[in-house]
Amino acid sequence: MDITVQELKEKLERGDRFVLIDVREPHEHEDFNVGGDLIPMGDIPMRLHELEEHQEEEVVVYCRSGRRSATIQALLQQAGFKNVRNLEGGMLAWEEAFGR
């Protein structure tokens, strides 16, 4: 199940408990991010063990456009994560809706 930028912004403002992961590259994260933990897409498979404790929690993944994070969403679901949500449109949609 995906999540819109509006839904994510509301969750962040409410202080909801969930895991937020930025799967972009470090330079993209430094340029602009919404507070997610940076784990670049290529590092996820070897760092999966770091995330295992969150298998039962809501996990939101995001990237620039939503493509890379959709790939990671599928990978995490295959690894047994129960509630992984991809940010529709990624940071491009966030910037379009809210700016930086």
Per-residue pLDDT of the chain (100 residues), as tens digits, is 899 999 999 999 999 999 999 999 999 999 999 999 999 999 999 999 999 999 999 999 999 999 999 999 999 999 999 999 999 999 999 999 999 9
For residue 63, indicate whether it is catalytic: yes
Catalytic residue among 63, 76, 84, 91: 63
How far is 83 from 60, CA to CA, in rounded Å? 8
Name which of 7, 32, 36 is nearest 21 in CA terms: 36
How far is 73 from 12, CA to CA, in rounded Å? 20
Distance of CA 17 to the CA centre of its chain: 14
How far is 69 from 85, CA to CA, in rounded Å? 9
